[in-house]
Chain A
Amino acid sequence: MKKTFFTLFLSISVFSGFAFQWPVSDPVLVTSFGESRFGDFSKGIELQSGSEDVYPIDQGEVVFYRSGETGGEIPSPLGNFAVIQHERGIYSIYAHLDKVYVPDYKFTEKNRLGTIGSTGLSTGKSLFLILLDGEFEQYINPLLSLPPMLDLKKPRIGPVYFIAENKQGNQKNEAKGDLTLKSGVYSIQVEIKDFNDNAGNYSPTAPFSISLYLNGENRKNIKFESLKLETGNMVLQNSGESTYDTLYSSPWVYKIGNFDLSPGDTRIELAVKDFEGNETSRILKITVVE
């Protein structure tokens, strides 16, 4: 556990120290890291742009690519793509490209790599950017190493649900104001959507972090920083071993965790931040009875 934490810390630190460039001009974030995408964690970010051209985020070397010319024996849900290897075993992957330009394998930030497209399993014309730390074999949130994106909009906290499992099945209680519940173990689930200034209100994304406080005590933190394969499952690191199935109830509803609520007054605070630090919180007062 300590080793895993140290590895994650080291890896995040390395990435935070980098200053990569945006692969497209005037990027608009339409899918964030860790968001629910096709029934799984999004291992990268999806960007739209008014321009067509895609450039590497840093200098490096194309080690693998696929285009209409190269073909391939297995299908490619990522469509046409290119993989650039950078220093220290870091890979950047540019997917759903229309054209892939690989006249030479060595690339600087100024060499055009391709054009934005919608090839493969893509919902629209966009670039899907994935950052893989090959040394630690984990996916890193690319926003950690890209320039800041202007965004003043706060995440929105939607309905909060308290779901109790009993003999009759799951009993779902929505906290619309003060709520009275019987004591017991509840799965707290909350709908959260973040909106980016550039993307407007039509394309929500996942937040960057979610924290839950129970009677003032920090009981759960979820951070969309990195994903790593552990015992056959992709796990959101530093977030209480969250897998896709344990975190997502539906694409925008997050299962924060299971909490034992004892009789008495209970104060629950949810604090949600987006990547630019915009924060929203909500306090719920629960009366728990026998």
Chain B
Amino acid sequence: MSMYKISFLLILAYVVLIGRPVEQEYSLEPGWISDLSTEEYVTAPASGEVPFTFSDHFGYFSPDNAVMLHDKVLYGIALDEKGFINYSSINAALVLQSPDGMVYGRLDDAGYPFFIGSRRFLLNSDGTALSEMNPDGEILWTNRFSSMITDVSASLTSLVVGTLNSGIRMLDTSGKETFSYKPEFSRTNTVYGTALSSDDSSILVISGLDPQKVLLFTKKNSGYRIVFSMDLEHEYRFQRQCGFSVDGNFAYFDYGSYLFLLNTVRREVKEFPVGGTLQRVVIAGLNDLVYTSAETGDVIRFSGFDLDGDQIFRYTSRGRDSFLDKDASGLYAGAGDYLFKLKKVKR
């Protein structure tokens, strides 16, 4: 075989197996900025709004810098692209509003709502029952648990619920159990975090003490089996942030001031120093960056990393809570009283 052919095959192998277009050719530059403390925003019905919430702000904006709705969070907020529930700590009823602020439904059940993707849930008053509601706020089903719910993750078709003492339970869209797992490797069954890939093929669970483990389940036939397990050196005893990339090739979880990224195919873990307590993560998957926001003191650090863990950009802002989202044209971020766009510009 000639050197030419060998070189060609090596390059081809590199492109197929290792090489990928990373976004290092791009940089982020400030785009628009909105001061939510001073500017008044009129409600303007429109489509394509992006929901945001950080600090005590929430609302909707369009990518070209038109904040459609901005208001203050009463006690908690559940919102998605189609509407929101802005609720007080104690309510006679939960009121559903559309992105233009119009009231279109009400829910008399006690509890706190939260939305995951396009699905809407209600956690009951003592955190032991979960209900799913339709967009109008009607309860579709309620499922009770023998101990407190510690975390919930959902796809369009499934739901994984972590509990204090009963492990995880996976439910379908009617609330029927399809899979369960009770960790019995440690002296407590407490689940500290759950994540479900968008296609239901993988589940990530953080559970137990001495050891505290990260477990990756993948779907096999009608059930799931553990394909990766990792003991965590430092144990945390509160709800952990974890999730999957949009393409399902990566799972992530917070670990002190680090983001741990698990390649679900190669089963490799990489550490990303996010520079504080992790708040938001945006990961599309292969061929994209990992975007994070993290808080330390009253400083928010926005970072972008390539998949090898190398930091591509860093941007800091004052604030204690943050917002992060992205589309093809750039990154949308919020901290303090400011909502802003970082435009993606080719170097």
Q: Residues of A with Cβ closer than 8 Å to B? A: 37-40, 42-44, 62-67, 70-79, 83, 85, 91, 93, 95, 102, 105, 118-123, 128, 130, 132, 134, 137-138, 228-229, 232-234
Contact = CB atoms under 8 A, between A and B. Distances in A.
Contacts of A79: 89
Contacts of B209: 63
Given A83-B164, A137-B146, A137-B165, A121 B237 contact: no
Interface stretch (B120-128, B220-228, B264-272, B286-294): B120-128
B241 interface: yes
B109 A62 contact: no
B152 A74 contact: yes
Nearest to A89: B165
B202 interface: no
A61 B99 CA distance: 45
Given A38-B110, A77-B111, A43 B126 contact: yes
B126 A40 contact: yes
B76 A72 contact: no
Contacts of B190: 63-64, 83
Contact of A137 (B78, B90, B147): B147
Contacts of A102: 237
Given A74-B114, A119-B89, A234-B144, A40 B238 contact: no
A77 B112 contact: yes
Contact of A132 (B111, B147, B237, B238): B147
Nearest to A72: B239
Top 7 A-B pairs, shortest CB-CB distance: A75-B112, A38-B110, A38-B125, A70-B238, A137-B146, A229-B146, A72-B239
Interface size class of B (residues with CB under 8 A): 35 or more
Interface string B49-67: 0000000000000000000
Nearest to A70: B238
B126 A130 contact: yes
Interface in B162-219: 164-166, 188-190, 192, 209
Contacts of A91: 147, 164-165
A38 to B, nearest CB: 4
B305 to A, nearest CB: 21
Q: Which of B124, B146, B151, B164 has the most CB of A within 10 A?
A: B146
Looking at chain A's contact residues, is the secondary structure mostly helix, strand, loop, or mixed?
A: loop
Contacts of A70: 238-239
Nearest to B152: A74
Contacts of A71: 239, 279
Contacts of B303: none
B268 to A, nearest CB: 25
Given A64-B150, A66-B238, A122-B89, A78 B165 contact: no
Contacts, number: 117
Q: Which of B111, B112, B114, B238 has the most CB of A within 10 A?
A: B238
Given A65-B237, A72-B238, A121-B111, A232 B144 contact: yes
B83 interface: no
A77 B124 contact: yes
A60 to B, nearest CB: 11
A77 to B, nearest CB: 5
B145 interface: yes
Nearest to A132: B147
Looking at chain B's contact residues, is the secondary structure mostly helix, strand, loop, or mixed?
A: loop
Q: Which of B90, B124, B143, B150 has the most CB of A within 10 A?
A: B90
Nearest to A93: B148
Q: Which of B111, B166, B192 has the most CB of A within 10 A?
A: B111
Nearest to B110: A38
A105 B237 contact: yes
Nearest to B113: A75
Nearest to A67: B238
B165 A132 contact: yes
A130 B125 CA distance: 13
B149 interface: yes
23 contacts: A37-B126, A40-B124, A40-B125, A43-B128, A44-B126, A63-B188, A64-B190, A64-B237, A70-B238, A74-B123, A75-B113, A77-B111, A77-B123, A79-B89, A85-B188, A91-B165, A120-B89, A121-B89, A122-B89, A128-B126, A134-B165, A228-B146, A229-B144
A39 B165 CA distance: 24
A132 B239 CA distance: 19
A91 B127 CA distance: 15
A44 B128 CA distance: 12
Given A93-B148, A132-B147, A229-B146, A73 B124 contact: no
Contacts of A66: 238-239
Contacts of A72: 238-239
A130 B127 CA distance: 12
Q: Which of A62, A83, A105, A121 has the most CB of B within 10 A?
A: A121
Contacts of B150: 64
A233 B144 contact: yes
B241 A73 contact: yes
Contacts of A43: 126, 128
Interface in B74-129: 76, 78, 89-90, 109-114, 123-129
B144 A78 contact: no
A234 B126 CA distance: 13
Nearest to B128: A43
A123 B76 contact: no
